[in-house]
Chains A and B, each alone.
Chain A
Amino acid sequence: MRRLSSWRAREARAGLLLVAPGLLLLALFLALPVVAALLLSLTDFDLYAIGDPSTARFVGLGNYARLLHDPVFWKALGNTFFFVLVGGPLTVSLSLGSALLLNHRLVRFPGLFRTVYFAPVVTTLVAVAAVWRYLYHPRFGLLNAALGSFGIGPVDWLGDPHWAMPAIVLMAAWKNFGANMIIFVAGLKAIPESLYEAARIDGAGPLQRFRSITVPLLAPTFLFVGLTTTIGYFQLFAEPYVLSGGEGGPMNATLSVALFMYKQGFRWWSIGSAASIAFVLFAVILAATLLQRRLQRGGDA
């Protein structure tokens, strides 16, 4: 008995020793910065404090209170929700659609198409944005030329506050759908062919097979893809940053919460206020994730 417990203790010690480097790294590079950021968010750390730390003052929840009264923050939050609620479903349905197509028996060269659809995911965003800026050019852009042939007037994609966010949604969906598509393809491959065969023998049509076999068996994949896309899209930053020259314009129409945070922090050097935005964004993402999980679990039942 004693031998066993001492062996256990030794094993526990060894285990602890083995995970120690990992824990240390996590503590150093994750826990410590998070705690530091939380403390920062309770101060008015700014440009003056960079020069002389003694000028930083503890302001309690002042940064958070000010944020809630800042119309620009609400605008940024609204833009971010628009991006998540429109861009998220659009990206996921594009991914699912292309995965279903690729998984179809009649499609030739699925490997080629998989690579082609996946290519935007691994392309540098800055290069992608440069090309899309040409596509969106109000006078010489391909997109407006295409719309023009249907008699639809020129749209000032990136200049008009009403169209700038949809333009970013479109580009992001194009760039990102390939990643989810690969996951959906894997999910589809995991569904045993025998189920479809049995359904066919029972006389189920293609739509019914999709509804009764594909959808329920793909539910875990859906949950995963939905969550990662939502979380990723809430952190929208690079797309508006490169398309609006770092401003989030026109008229803050493409200002996302993360871009707002960046501007507060590294443009105006209001580090304390930027840290508080980070925590609000974290809370929003956490709430959205919990809600989404509950909704999808509820849907299953």
Chain B
Amino acid sequence: MRAIACGLLLAAATACARGGERGEAVRLWAFGREGEVVRELVPELERRHPGLRVEVQQIPWTAAHEKLLTAYVGRELPDVAQMGNTWIPEMAALDAIEPLDARVAASAAVRPDDTFPGIWETNVLDGTLYGVPWYVDTRLVFYRSDLLAAAGVPELPRSWSGWRAAMEAVKRRGGDGRYGLLLPTNEWAQPVALAVAAGAELLSDGARHGAFRAPEFRRAAEFFVGLYRDGLAPPLANTQVANLYQQMAAGEFAMYVTGPWNLGEFRRRLPASLQGSWATAPLPAPDGMPWPGVSLAGGSSLVVFRSSTRKDDAWKVVEYLSEPATQKRFWQLCGDLPARRSAWDEPALASDARTASFRLQLEHVRATPKVPEWEQIAAKVWERLEPVARGTRDLDASLAALDADVDAILAKRRWLLERKAAGEKP
């Protein structure tokens, strides 16, 4: 018992010592490359606010999620952090992050009307704002314009049927081992983006149940698995693609649905001779729906933790990082696309046709369901569609199984909502 008591005393003593030491600095957690680059933005912020000191801690993406939750349990959360926008519902469910509506309303720097609406929306849960968009991310089509042109397709078609026809033309011309589109079987973002474009709600009844048998999702899934069935996309998991850029360069795949990080990668990794032969385009739309097709709202926001004792200083960090000028600089440093529309007047961003596709696509993005269970549900989406893509299972049976999986995952949420409703009744 004494040992425990001593241990507790010791912990308390060190906690006090540390609290005193860190008194001045605002602790900012940022992940991966962003965590590295954001350090370079800090001096300017500290210059503007004498007395404000920011301590950046970089955390690898692979450890970020776990670290956030263990820090929550251990009461060791920082003051402000980068937050992948699909993690916001989880942090809000834990009541770990601060509502920001009042601060935004009073702020001259943070401007909702200057932010892509679909991206802003990912931060709003039941009418309450929990994060401010930092940089954005969405999926669209990267393609080999030379291969498409050679197959008689001058530019990326705007409808699903035209898109499919383009893949068929590329395949016909290329022959064996050549595919129209690379669509890894173990990624959820592509099928879900197609479903969102087709108008699927994904979850129904206030996110209490799966809605994967709905006609909109079924239509997208049918299109998706049809690409494998007809040999237009190879049934490969992304671990089976040995070297994406070499294979793209060799013409094994003419198109690929992916995100903005590949702008830099394609520039660096495709040979110089092909640099004029690749392009990007917004997603084609399902036939009969307006172009461009809706894609997924991704990226990271900045959040302030409830446990923070320096919320005003933390908010200064958020304001500074969301300013268009800071966002331009951030883009120059690491290539992350700015969340603020006015940052896109940066000449290098505005004049590049490849980033312009992203600019257009970002006006047409939608958030994935904002429930803490979403990532688990998303993993089920590809797990259930993969056997269909590989031709070992029937689509309708898989969608029914997917709905059952998702209903089981959401059971706790349903119970919590019921309990809350019962508690609210007088």
Q: Is B12 an interface residue (CB 8 A)?
A: no
Interface pick from A111-119, A200-208, A230-238, A243-251: A243-251
In chain A, positions 185-228 with a C-beta closer than 8 Å to chain B are: none
Whether A44 is near chain B, meaning CB under 8 Å from some CB there, is yes
Q: How far is the CB of B371 from chain A (nearest CB, A)?
A: 11
Q: Is the interface of A mostly helix, strand, loop or mixed?
A: loop
Q: A48 CA to B62 CA in the complex, in Å?
A: 22
Closest residue on chain B to residue A25 by CB atoms = B3
CB pair B239–A250 under 8 Å, yes or no, is yes
Q: A55-B416, A156-B242, A268-B376 are in contact. Are A47 and B93 (CB under 8 A)?
A: yes
Residue pair A251, B237 in contact (C-beta under 8 Å): yes
Question: Which of B62, B69, B242, B419 lies in contact with A138, CB distance below 8 A?
Answer: B242
- B186 contacts A50, C-beta separation under 8 Å: no
Interface residue count on the A side (C-beta < 8 Å): 27
How long is the Cα–Cα vector from A204 to B237 in the complex, in angstroms? 57
In the complex, what distance in Å separates the CA atom of A250 from the CA atom of B416?
A: 35
Shortest distance from the beta carbon of B240 to any chain A beta carbon, whole Å: 4
Least Cβ–Cβ distance between A252 and chain B, in angstroms: 8
Chain A neighbourhood of B146, CB < 8 A: none
- Say whether A266 contacts B66, CB under 8 Å: yes
Interface residues of A in 154-173 (CB under 8 A from B): 156, 158-160
Task: Verify if B348 is at the interface (C-beta below 8 Å from A).
Answer: no
B93 touches A48 (CB 8 A): yes
A239 within 8 A of B: no
Per-residue CB contact flags for chain B residues 184-219 toward chain A (1 = under 8 Å, else 0) read 001000000000000000000000000000000000
Q: B269 an interface residue at 8 Å Cβ cutoff?
A: no
Produce 1/0 per residue, B398-410, CB < 8 A to A.
0000000000100
| Interface: A293 (CB within 8 A) | no
A48-B93, A51-B94 known; A159 vs B386 contact (CB < 8 Å) = no
- A50-B94, A160-B240 as given contacts; A251 in contact with B66, CB under 8 Å: no
Q: Which of B65, B72, B376 has the most CB of A within 10 A?
A: B376
A91 → chain B closest CB, angstroms: 26
Complex contacts, A159 vs chain B, CB 8 Å: 237, 239-242
**Which residues of the partner chain A approach B408 to less than 8 Å between Cβ atoms?**
66
On chain B, the number of residues with a Cβ less than 8 Å from chain A's Cβ atoms is 27
CB distance from A187 to the nearest CB of B (A): 41
Any A CB within 8 A of the CB of B95: yes
Question: What is the minimal beta-carbon distance from B374 to any residue of chain A, in angstroms?
Answer: 11
B36 within 8 A of A: no
Cβ proximity bits A240-283 to B, threshold 8 Å, 1 near / 0 not: 00001110011100000000000000111100000000000000
The one of B66, B372, B415 in contact with A47, judged by C-beta atoms closer than 8 angstroms, is B372
| A137 touching B376 in the complex, CB below 8 Å, given contacts A47-B90, A48-B93, A266-B66 | no
Q: How long is the Cα–Cα vector from A250 to B186 in the complex, in angstroms? A: 8
Does B273 interact with chain A (Cβ within 8 Å)?
Answer: no
Q: Give the Cβ gap from A226 to chain B, nearest Cβ, in Å.
A: 34
Contacts of A245 in B (CB 8 A): 62
- Chain A, residue nearest B236 (CB): A159
Contact of A51 among B93, B243, B419 (CB under 8 A): B93
Decide: A48 near B242, CB < 8 A? Known: A250-B186, A269-B69: no
Determine if B243 and A139 form an interchain contact, defined as CB atoms under 8 angstroms apart. yes
Could you tell me the distance between the alpha carbons of A52 and B95 in the complex, rounded to whole angstroms?
9
Q: How far is the CA of A246 from the CA of B239 in the complex (A)?
A: 13
Instruction: State A44–B411 Cα separation when bound (angstroms).
Output: 11
Contact of B386 among A138, A139, A158, A251 (CB under 8 A): A251
**Min CB distance, B31 to chain A, in Å?**
16
Contacts of A46 in B (CB 8 A): 412
Chain A residues near B (Cβ < 8 Å): 44, 46-48, 50-52, 55, 57, 66, 137-139, 156, 158-160, 244-246, 249-251, 266-269
A-B contact pairs, 26 of them (CB 8 A): A44-B412, A46-B412, A47-B94, A47-B372, A48-B93, A48-B372, A50-B69, A50-B72, A50-B94, A51-B96, A55-B416, A57-B415, A139-B242, A156-B240, A156-B242, A159-B239, A159-B241, A245-B62, A249-B186, A250-B237, A250-B239, A250-B240, A251-B186, A251-B386, A268-B376, A269-B69
Chain B residues close to A by CB (< 8 Å) = 62, 65-66, 69, 72-73, 90, 93-96, 186, 237, 239-243, 372, 375-376, 386, 408, 412, 415-416, 419
The 4 A-B pairs at the shortest CB distance, nearest first, are namely A159-B240, A51-B94, A159-B239, A250-B237
Known: A47-B94, A51-B93, A249-B186. 5 other contacts (CB 8 A): A47-B69, A47-B90, A47-B372, A138-B242, A266-B66
